[in-house]
Amino acid sequence: MGANHAHGTDAVPTSRRTVLAGLAVLVPLAIVTLAALVWLWPDGRPEAAAQQPPGVERLSGTVTGVVLKPCPAVTEGAPRPDPATCGNATVRVEDGPDVGRDVTLRLPSGPGAQHFAADDAVILLRDSDGAYQISDHDRATPLWLFGAAFALAVIAFGRWRGVTALVGLAVTFVLLLTFVIPGILEGRSPMLVAITGAAAIMLAVLYLTHGFSVSTSMAVLGTLASLALTGLLSYGALGFARLNGITDDSALTLGMSLSIDTQGLLLASIIIGALGVLDDVTVTQAVTVAELAHANPSYGFARLYRAAGRIGRAHIASVINTIILAYAGASLPLLLLFSIGEQPLGDVLTTPVIAQEIVRSIVGTLGLIAAVPITTALAALTASRAHRPADAAGPSSGHESPGFFSPQDEPAGFFTPQGPQRGPYERAAGPAPSGQGRSARHRRGAAG
């Protein structure tokens, strides 16, 4: 399981037994995932209710001019329309049977109506009688530009690794759009589809992005174990909190018109959402252990685990805040709505929509916390076994071979105020040069 490209973790020697042990676990997991993909793969597009009336076409157009008019009078107490939404717009039809034709249409008005100006690209709806109406802005061009800027930034910074990351992102979208979403819409178990899709995404993306190495394999195993734990916790939490996944009209429509298990859909969303954060943490921990082992070949399992665990705790502390803020930001309009309703905080927190987000964030965080010790233990075990022959032979001199964080080059207090021996990169145990400890104590005593 050697690496296919240069990486900081590839310098760590790997024993044949470690490679075989990793393959003995990963190959069956990959086979099971592939078999589940074949078994659960959707047969075709599910029958669903039409999203727009029969005979209605979506066409593209360009606004060539806007003429504003006074807004009509409204009854007392009714919301006043925005003056920028009262009037007519001249739109040139860009496709369909009337391509090139200019049509004069009424501007959309009412609460939440958008503003339109000359040269805006718009979406038109054409009914079976040939009548048009403005539906929305056409955002295809801005989104393509944003996507191109994102891809260029990733490639400029990551170079070849950035290219593989983008390919992995494409694989993720393909699996979501061709397997996860159609499979759930066909009525298959959302939990099984989500677990299978998450496992396939993880196996494909992690190896594609980070290469075939022992560190990547340990990250894969750590992610799988943490994902399974997250799924079990989610299943128990949803039942214990009596959450059925129906919090808005969209979930209700899916449950009634397509007979989708909404509680299973909520569980699937938790699993898919947790995967995005879990692989970040597990890869970081696996690479950290590998770098520590490379820099300090004398480290055993316990010292590697403790040193990498301190780094993992710092990482988790920041990621937890990120998760909570992400959910709070997504629910901000709803929180504002509850605030103006002057409901007691306890009543707000126990409403289904808020309780669902609380359970989602807590369960995801618990899985994230579990990922650190699991991945760190797996990576430390393989790294310590890989270095065991060299450790058994003993150092040829009183000094350790220098690495990224060589003890000979560490300035005092570089990692923590107490000195590097108390920081995340502990000084490796080994015989100090003769008289070194006594001379240091003598100098401190003389200074006193």
Q: Is the pLDDT of residue 120 over 60?
A: yes
Residues in the chain: 448
Of 187, 428, 434, which Cα lies nearest the Cα of 299?
A: 428
What percent of the chain has a predicted confidence (pLDDT) above 70? 75
pLDDT tens across 419-439, in order?
344 444 444 444 444 444 444
Q: Is the pLDDT of residue 401 over 70?
A: no
Give dist(CA 85, CA 52) in Å, integer.
24
What's the predicted TM-score (pTM) here? 0.69
Give dist(CA 400, CA 213) in Å, integer.
26
Q: Which of 85-94, 178-187, 318-327, 374-383 has the lowest mean pLDDT?
A: 318-327
- Check residue 179 and give its pLDDT: 92
User: Which residue has better confidence, 306 or 254?
Assistant: 306
The mean per-residue pLDDT over the stretch 326-331 comes to 75
- Check residue 150 and give its pLDDT: 96
- Check residue 374 and give its pLDDT: 93
- Check residue 200 and give its pLDDT: 93
Two tokens at 283? 């890869």
Give dist(CA 294, CA 402) in Å, integer.
9
Q: Is the pLDDT of residue 96 over 90?
A: no
Give dist(CA 217, CA 57) in Å, integer.
49
Q: What is the CATH number of domain 8-42+188-391?
A: 1.20.1640
pLDDT interval class at 382 (50, 70, 90):
confident
User: Which residue has better confidence, 342 or 387?
Assistant: 342
Per-position b or e across 173-200, b if 16+ CB within 10 A of its CB: eebeeebbebbbbbebbbbbbbbbbbbb
- Check residue 434 and give its pLDDT: 46
- Check residue 406 and give its pLDDT: 34
User: Which residue has better confidence, 269 or 91?
Assistant: 91
Two domains, one topology: 8-42+188-391 and 57-73+83-141: no
Place of tokens 């003890």: 407
- Check residue 241 and give its pLDDT: 83
pLDDT tens across 357-370, in order?
888 888 888 988 99
Cα 5–Cα 9–Cα 14 angle in degrees, nearest 5: 95
User: Which residue has better confidence, 337 or 109?
Assistant: 109
Give dist(CA 199, CA 188) in Å, integer.
17
CA distances for 377 relative to 142, 219, 285, 386, angstroms = 45, 11, 10, 14
Residue type, 188: R
pLDDT interval class at 39 (50, 70, 90):
very high
Give dist(CA 135, CA 114) in Å, integer.
10
Q: What is the pLDDT of the chain when averaged over all its residues?
A: 77
The mean per-residue pLDDT over the stretch 263-268 comes to 82
Instruction: Let me know: does 195 contact 209? Beta carbons within 8 Å.
Output: no
Instruction: Let me know: does 297 contact 404? Beta carbons within 8 Å.
Output: no
The mean per-residue pLDDT over the stretch 395-414 comes to 36
DSSP string, 247-276: -SHHHHHHHHHS---HHHHHHHHHHHHHHH
- Check residue 163 and give its pLDDT: 92
pLDDT interval class at 73 (50, 70, 90):
confident
pLDDT interval class at 19 (50, 70, 90):
low
pLDDT tens across 40-54, in order?
998 865 554 445 566
E strands within 152-307? none
Instruction: Let me know: does 253 contact 346? Beta carbons within 8 Å.
Output: no
- The maximal CA–CA distance of the chain, rounded, in angstroms, is 100
pLDDT tens across 158-198, in order?
888 899 989 999 999 999 999 998 888 888 888 889 999 99
The class of domain 57-73+83-141 in CATH terms is mainly beta
In the 8-state DSSP scheme, what is residue 175? Answer: H
Place of tokens 């994102």: 150
- Structural domain boundaries in the chain: 8-42+188-391, 57-73+83-141
Sign of torsion, CA 327 330 332 334?
Answer: negative
What percent of the chain has a predicted confidence (pLDDT) above 90? 21
Instruction: Let me know: does 291 contact 404? Beta carbons within 8 Å.
Output: yes
